[in-house]
């Protein structure tokens, strides 16, 4: 691996990357890889490239194991003039992360994490997740032929459990506090030589940078005003922001967009701290939202998201379940079906436009994080319509 360090996001203490280090032993804050200052895009044949290869200058790997890839990334960026008009904004784009191999953005973080795990000689990986990340790590573990531990919470619905179990990991439903389980997993990992690719571990964050890189390429390096990210643990939003920052360092873009941290009102610990001008996120009591996928009451990167929003000069916003469902329907009526959490950015843009925070001449990109097929209970919240008839009456009905 290249000579890069991990660095504490709070106190700047350095850690080497040739061992696993997830959090600072002094601050208990997340670590991240030192910022890249020089790099270019490898504009080879994209049909023969993985995302880690195309943006290799922005990763610390000297060689890349192509066999670990499931074809993650290179997802679509879809512009919707229809919704832009409805909301009254110049340009509105949706980065469709449902086009990943396990149909969520998590695959980008998993591939970076598993590259690191394999380089360090690990034979076992794992994660703690309520759904999307569990499927992702189970799938990549299967591809890499690694033993894979997946810890999920006790009350997980079968609908979420089965699409994890199908990849055949060692899947354990754990009764206990989810925030504690996150930290407990690192301890178990250390004791048993398991690399836990959890929600905000440094290499997972690195993988998410590729969302920013692709948006730059897709918009021909003409950077939008806002990137709106559904935020739970805080990993995705941190990675995306870091990606833009590094492209700017390298002269590939001349400004960075404002980053919007979008949460569900029913579980909005980061938004709450931001509003209260606190620098510390505290546990969100009695969380309840239809956007389950972003329902983490104790976000491990919460404080770092607050620090990042502060220097980036973006903002935090929270939207109600009602607004989320409305946005989910609106998004589907432009051809993109995301899960409730994935509709949070659109609901946020609508709200911020109404408040005139976002101006009508501005441009925003919403991250659609995962497929609507993964959370079918949301169907009941929509007024879905169909008719019935006999084939002999069909012609009359259509007329």
Q: Is 359 in the site for a second copy (CB under 8 A)?
A: no
Using CB under 8 A, which residues numbered 336 to 355 contact a second copy?
336-337
- For helices 321-332 and 340-354, the axis angle rounded to 10 degrees is 100
Is 22 an interacting residue with respect to a second copy (CB under 8 A)? no
d(CA 281, CA 294): 15
Residue 38 C-beta: closest distance to a second copy, Å: 22
> Does 98 help bind a second copy (rule: CB under 8 A)?
yes
- Residues 270 and 231: beta-carbon distance below 8 Å: yes
Site residues (CB under 8 A) for a second copy, limited to 367-386? 371-374, 376, 379, 382, 384-386
Q: Which of residues 284-313 bind a second copy (CB under 8 A)?
A: none
Rg (C-alpha) for the chain, rounded Å, is: 21
Asked whether position 191 contacts a second copy by CB under 8 A, the answer is yes
Site for a second copy, residues 131 to 160, rule: CB under 8 A: 139-140, 142-143, 145, 149, 151, 154, 159
The verdict on 70 binding a second copy (CB under 8 A) reads yes
369 is in an annotated binding site: yes
Burial of residue 114, with CB atoms counted within 10 A of its CB: 0-12 exposed, 13-18 middle, 19 or more buried: buried
What is the closest distance, in whole angstroms, from the C-beta atom of residue 170 to a second copy in the complex? 7
Residues 240 and 367: beta-carbon distance below 8 Å: yes
Using CB under 8 A, which residues numbered 103 to 132 contact a second copy?
A: 103
CA angle in degrees (0–180, nearest 5) for 182-188-189: 90
Minimum Å distance from CB 7 to a second copy? Answer: 30
Scanning residues 72 to 91, which ones bind a second copy (CB under 8 A)?
A: 72, 74-82
Residue 26 binds to a second copy (criterion: CB under 8 A): no
Nearer to a second copy, 230 or 340 (CB): 340
Which residue has tokens 């280090």? 21
Alpha helices in 250-379 (DSSP H): 269-275, 302-312, 321-332, 340-354
Q: Is 99 in the site for a second copy (CB under 8 A)?
A: yes
Quote the CA–CA distance of 62 and 17 in Å, as a whole number. Answer: 13
Per the annotation, where are the binding residues for pyridoxal 5'-phosphate? 132, 369
């Amino acid at each position: 691996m290249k000579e890069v360090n991990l660095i504490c996001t709070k106190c700047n203490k350095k850690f080497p990357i040739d061992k696993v280090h997830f959090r600072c032993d002094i601050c208990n804050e997340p670590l991240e890889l030192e910022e890249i200052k020089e790099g270019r895009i490898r504009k080879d044949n994209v049909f023969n490239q993985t995302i880690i290869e195309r943006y290799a200058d922005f990763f610390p790997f000297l060689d890349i194991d192509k066999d670990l890839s499931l074809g993650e990334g290179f997802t679509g960026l879809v512009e919707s003039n229809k919704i832009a008009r409805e909301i009254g904004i110049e340009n509105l784009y949706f980065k469709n992360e449902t086009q990943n191999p396990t149909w969520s953005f998590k695959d980008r973080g998993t591939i970076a994490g598993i590259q690191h795990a394999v380089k360090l000689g690990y034979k076992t990986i794992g994660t703690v997740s309520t759904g999307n990340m569990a499927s992702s790590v189970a799938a990549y573990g299967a591809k890499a032929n690694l033993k894979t531990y997946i810890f999920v919470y006790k009350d997980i619905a079968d609908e979420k459990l089965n699409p994890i179990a199908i990849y055949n990991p060692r899947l354990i439903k754990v009764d206990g506090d989810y925030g504690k389980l996150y930290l407990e997993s690192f301890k178990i990992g250390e004791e048993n030589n398991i690399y836990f690719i959890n929600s905000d571990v440094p290499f997972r964050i690195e993988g998410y940078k590729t969302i920013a890189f692709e948006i730059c390429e897709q918009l021909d390096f003409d950077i939008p005003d806002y990137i709106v990210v559904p935020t739970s643990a805080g990993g995705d939003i941190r990675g995306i922001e870091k990606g833009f920052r590094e492209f700017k360092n390298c002269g590939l873009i001349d400004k960075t967009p404002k980053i919007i941290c979008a949460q569900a009102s029913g579980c909005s610990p980061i938004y709450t701290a931001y509003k209260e001008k606190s620098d510390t996120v505290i546990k969100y009591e009695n969380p309840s939202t239809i956007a389950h996928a972003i329902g983490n009451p104790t976000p491990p990167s919460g404080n770092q998201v607050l620090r990042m929003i502060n220097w980036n000069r973006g903002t935090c916003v929270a939207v109600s379940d009602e607004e989320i469902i409305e946005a989910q329907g609106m998004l589907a009526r432009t051809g993109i079906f995301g899960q409730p959490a994935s509709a949070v950015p659109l609901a946020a843009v609508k709200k911020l436009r109404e408040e005139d925070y976002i101006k009508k001449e501005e441009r925003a990109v919403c991250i659609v994080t995962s497929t609507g097929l993964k959370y079918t209970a949301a169907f009941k919240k929509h007024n879905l319509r169909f008719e019935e008839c006999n084939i002999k009456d069909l012609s009359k009905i259509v007329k």
